[in-house]
C-alpha cells in the first residue's frame, strides 16, 4: 500500500500484481455471486432456480477443490515457508487460512443444501419480502407463487466475504470483508416466511447492532493507524514490539477492534443480538450464520490477535480471560431458561464460543490448532442440528417451541436419535466430535497455563449438559403431545445435510486423527506475517 502511494506521487501508476491462482477460491465465489445477479436479470423465472443452484454448488465445490490444490502445492509452501502474502500485501495465503477457508466452504455447501431444499410444502423463505406482513399484496404474491431467488447470490456474496475476512492481511481489507459478509446476512435474516415480524425484527436488530460494531472496528483501525502509521497487521506488530508511539492509541485500538471481532463471534458482553437473530432468521440462514460466520470470525480474531497483537499477549490476555469466563458462564446459564429450540442453540453457540476462546487465550500453536479443529467439528454438528430443526414441522412451518418436541422419540425415533446425537456432541460426551474438540481446546488452555479457565469451562459444560439432556428427556421420556408436529421425510438436499452432519459428528469423535493432523499441520507455523 505504501509502495503504491509512493509510486503515485512519482507519476507512473504501476499495475498492482495480483496472484490470481492463489486468490482463485475467493474470486470464483465472488464471480459466481456476480453472475448470479446477472442471472436474476436475464434468465427466465422458471429456469432461475436451477441455474442458481448450478452456480452456487459449482462455485463452492470448485473453490473447495482449488483450496485443497493450493494447500497441497509444494511451491507455495516450499522450504518450510509459512505461506505467502498476496495482492500487494492485502491478503495472506497461509496454512491456517486455507484450513479455515476449506472449513467455511464445506459448511457453506451444506448450508446451501438447506437453503435450496424446496421439498417442504411451506417454503422457508418469504415470497415477497417487501410486502407488509398480513397485507393483500403478500397474499397475492403467495398465490402467484413468487420466490426470491436472490437468496443464492446474496449467500454467495456473504460466503465470499467470509472467505476474505480471515485471510485479510491488513485491517482495511478486513473491514471491507466484514461488510461484504454482513450486509447480505442482514438482508437474508429478514426473509423468513413464517413469523415475519420476528424475522424483520431480527434483521433490524442485527443490522443496527452490526453497524454499531463495525463502527467500533473502524474506530479501532483508526487508532491503530494513528499508533503505527499503517493498517498492515505486520507493521502494527513490529511497531508494538518497537514500542514506538502512544500506548493509549495502541490499547484503545486493541480494545475497539477486539469489540468488533468479539461481536461477530457473539462473545459476552457483545452477545445480545444472537438469540433474537438466530430465532428470527429462516433456519437455513441461521445454520449458515451459526457455522460459517462463526468460523470466519474466529479466523479473523485469531489472525488479528496472533499476528498484530502477538507480542502483547500480556496486555490483552487479562481482558480476554474475563470475556471468556463471562461468555461460557452467561451462555450456559441463560440457555437453561430457554423454551425455543433456536434460541437455545443460540445461547449454546455463545457458550461454545467461550470454549474456543479458552484456546485462543493460550496464544500458542496448540491453541491455534485446537481452535481450528473445534471450529470444523462444531460447525458440522451445528449445521446438522439446524437441518433437523427444519424437519420438525407444524402445519404453519417449523415447530420451534420445545414443548412441541415432547415425545418425538416415539413418533420418529431416527430423527430424534440423530438430534440426540448432536446434543450429546454439544454436551461433549466421548465418542462424538464435541468431546474431541473440547479435549483439544482444554488441553491447549491447560498447557498455556489457563487451568482456572478450564475449570470454569467444565463447570459451564455441566450446566450446558443440563439443558441438552433436558431436550433428550423431552424427546424420549415424555409422552407425545396431542396433534404434535409431524416430522417430514427429508428431501434429498436436507437428507444429505443431516447425513453429512451425523457422519462428521461420529467420525470426528471416533477417528479424529486425520482432521486433527490436518489442523496440527495447518497451525505449526502460525500465520504468515
Nearer to another protein by C-beta: 396 or 413?
A: 413
- Which residue number, 111 or 432, has a Cβ lying nearer to another protein? 432
Least Å distance between CB 379 and another protein? 20
Least distance in angstroms from the C-beta of 362 to another protein: 11
Q: Quote the CA–CA distance of 7 and 260 in Å, as a whole number.
A: 33
Among 111, 214, 291, 436, binds another protein (CB under 8 A): 436
Contacts of 522 (CB under 8 A, 6+ apart): 95, 96, 98, 99, 369, 372
Between residues 212 and 439, which has the closer beta carbon with respect to another protein?
439
Burial degree of 378 (CB within 10 A; 0-12, 13-18, 19+): buried
| CA distances to 85, 167, 235, 364 from 230, in Å | 16, 18, 6, 26
Q: Does 411 bind another protein (CB under 8 A)?
A: no
Q: Quote the least distance from Cβ 234 to another protein, whole Å.
A: 30
Q: For residue 524, give the nearest of 303, 313, 299, 369 by alpha carbon.
A: 369
Window 65 to 104, contacts with another protein (CB under 8 A): none
* Cα–Cα distance, 396 to 268 (Å, whole number): 34
Cα 270 to Cα 190, 265, 323, 359, 390, distances in angstroms: 21, 9, 10, 19, 28
Contact segment (CB under 8 A) with another protein among 56-64, 76-84, 357-365, 512-520 equals 512-520
State the nearest-atom distance from the C-beta of 62 to another protein, in Å. Answer: 31
Pick the binder of another protein from 81, 244, 246, 517 (CB under 8 A).
Answer: 517
> Is omega for the bond preceding 326 within 30 degrees of 0, making it cis?
no
Candidate ranges 92-100, 129-137, 194-202, 430-438; the one touching another protein (CB under 8 A) = 430-438
Contact between 439 and another protein by CB under 8 A: the answer reads yes
For another protein, the closer of residues 26 and 427 by Cβ is 427
Cα–Cα distance between 443 and 520 in angstroms, integer?
14
Half-sphere exposure of 284 (CA within 13 A, CB side): 27
Contact with another protein (CB under 8 A) among 134, 337, 513, 524: 513
Q: Of these, 63, 92, 516, 526, which contacts another protein (CB under 8 A)?
A: 516
User: CA-CA distance, 403 to 341, in Å (whole number)?
Assistant: 10
Other CB atoms within 10 A of residue 308 CB? 29
Does residue 242 touch another protein according to CB under 8 A? no
- Write out the binding residues for another protein, residues 453-482 only, by CB under 8 A: 454-455, 458-459, 461-462, 465-466, 469-470, 473, 476-478
Q: Output 40 or 486, the one with its CB closest to another protein.
A: 486
C-beta of 407 vs 495, nearer to another protein: 407
Smallest distance from another protein to CB 461, Å: 6
The residue within the footprint of another protein, chosen from 118, 447, 481, 507 (CB under 8 A), is 447
Closest to another protein by CB, 496 vs 520, is: 520
> Which one of the spans 31-39, 54-62, 230-238, 451-459 is the region binding another protein (CB under 8 A)?
451-459
Which range binds another protein by CB under 8 A, 242-250, 350-358, 394-402, 445-453?
445-453
b/e per residue, 4-43, with b = 16+ CB within 10 A? eeeeeeeeeeeeeeeeeebbbbbbbbbbbbeebeebbeeb
Q: What is the 3-state secondary structure (H, E, C) of 186-228?
A: HHHHCCECCCHHHHHHHHHHHHHHHHHHHHHHHHHHHHHHHHH
Mask for 367-406, x = binds another protein (CB under 8 A): ----------------------------------------
Number of Cα atoms under 13 Å in the Cβ half of residue 82: 12
Nearer to another protein, 219 or 321 (CB): 321
Q: Which is nearer to another protein, 269 or 430 (CB)?
A: 430
Got the DSSP string for 76-143?
TTGGG--EEEETTTTEEEEHHHHHHHHHHHHHHHHHHHHHH---SSS-SB-S-TTSPTTSHHHHHHHH
Residue 462 DSSP code: H
Q: Which residues bind another protein (CB under 8 A)?
A: 413, 424, 427, 429-431, 435-436, 439-440, 442-443, 446-447, 451, 454-455, 458-459, 461-462, 465-466, 469-470, 473, 476-478, 512-513, 516-517, 520
Amino acid at each position: 500500500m505504501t509502495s503504491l502511494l509512493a509510486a503515485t506521487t512519482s507519476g507512473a501508476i504501476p499495475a498492482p500484481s495480483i496472484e490470481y491462482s492463489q486468490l482463485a477460491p475467493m474470486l470464483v465465489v465472488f464471480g459466481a455471486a456476480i453472475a448470479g445477479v446477472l442471472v436474476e436479470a436475464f434468465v427466465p423465472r422458471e429456469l432461475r432456480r436451477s441455474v442458481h443452484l448450478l452456480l452456487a454448488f459449482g462455485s463452492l465445490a470448485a473453490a473447495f477443490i482449488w483450496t485443497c490444490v493450493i494447500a497441497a502445492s509444494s511451491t507455495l509452501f516450499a522450504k518450510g515457508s509459512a505461506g505467502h502474502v498476496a495482492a500487494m500485501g492485502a491478503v495472506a495465503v497461509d496454512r491456517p487460512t486455507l484450513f479455515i477457508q476449506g472449513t467455511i466452504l464445506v459448511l457453506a455447501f451444506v448450508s446451501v443444501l438447506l437453503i435450496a431444499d424446496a421439498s417442504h410444502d411451506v417454503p422457508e423463505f418469504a415470497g415477497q419480502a417487501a410486502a407488509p406482513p398480513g397485507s393483500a399484496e403478500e397474499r397475492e404474491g403467495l398465490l402467484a407463487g413468487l420466490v426470491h431467488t436472490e437468496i443464492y447470490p446474496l449467500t454467495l456474496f456473504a460466503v465470499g466475504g467470509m472467505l476474505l475476512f480471515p485471510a485479510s492481511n491488513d485491517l482495511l481489507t478486513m473491514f471491507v470483508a466484514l461488510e461484504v459478509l454482513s450486509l447480505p446476512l442482514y438482508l437474508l435474516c429478514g426473509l423468513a416466511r413464517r413469523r415475519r415480524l420476528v424475522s424483520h425484527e431480527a434483521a433490524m436488530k442485527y443490522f443496527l447492532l452490526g453497524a454499531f460494531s463495525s463502527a467500533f472496528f473502524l474506530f479501532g483501525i483508526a487508532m491503530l493507524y494513528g499508533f503505527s502509521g499503517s493498517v498492515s497487521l505486520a507493521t502494527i506488530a513490529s511497531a508494538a514490539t518497537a514500542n514506538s508511539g502512544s500506548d493509549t492509541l495502541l490499547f484503545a485500538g486493541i480494545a475497539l477492534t477486539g469489540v468488533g471481532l468479539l461481536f461477530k463471534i457473539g462473545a459476552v458482553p457483545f452477545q445480545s443480538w444472537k438469540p433474537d437473530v438466530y430465532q428470527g432468521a429462516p433456519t437455513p440462514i441461521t445454520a449458515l450464520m451459526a457455522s460459517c460466520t462463526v468460523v470466519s470470525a474466529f479466523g479473523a480474531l485469531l489472525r488479528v490477535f496472533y499476528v498484530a497483537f502477538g507480542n502483547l499477549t500480556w496486555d490483552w490476555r487479562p481482558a480476554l480471560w474475563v470475556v471468556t469466563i463471562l461468555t461460557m458462564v452467561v451462555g450456559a446459564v441463560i440457555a437453561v431458561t430457554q423454551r425455543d429450540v433456536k434460541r437455545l442453540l443460540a445461547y449454546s453457540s455463545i457458550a461454545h464460543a467461550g470454549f474456543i476462546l479458552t484456546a485462543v487465550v493460550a496464544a500458542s500453536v496448540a491453541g491455534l490448532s485446537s481452535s481450528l479443529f473445534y471450529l470444523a467439528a462444531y460447525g458440522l454438528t451445528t449445521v446438522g442440528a439446524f437441518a433437523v430443526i427444519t424437519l420438525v414441522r407444524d402445519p404453519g412451518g417449523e415447530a420451534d417451541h420445545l414443548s412441541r418436541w415432547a415425545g418425538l422419540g416415539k413418533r420418529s425415533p431416527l430423527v430424534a436419535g440423530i438430534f440426540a446425537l448432536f446434543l450429546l456432541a454439544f454436551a461433549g460426551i466421548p465418542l462424538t466430535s464435541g468431546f474431541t474438540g473440547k479435549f483439544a481446546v482444554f488441553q491447549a488452555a491447560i498447557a498455556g497455563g489457563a487451568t482456572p479457565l478450564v475449570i470454569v469451562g467444565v463447570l459451564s459444560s455441566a450446566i450446558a449438559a443440563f439443558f441438552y439432556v433436558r431436550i433428550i428427556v423431552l424427546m424420549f421420556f415424555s409422552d407425545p403431545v396431542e396433534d404434535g408436529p409431524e416430522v417430514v421425510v427429508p428431501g434429498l438436499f436436507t437428507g444429505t445435510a443431516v447425513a453429512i452432519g451425523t457422519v462428521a459428528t461420529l467420525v470426528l469423535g471416533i477417528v479424529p486423527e486425520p482432521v486433527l493432523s490436518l489442523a496440527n499441520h495447518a497451525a505449526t507455523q502460525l500465520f504468515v506475517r
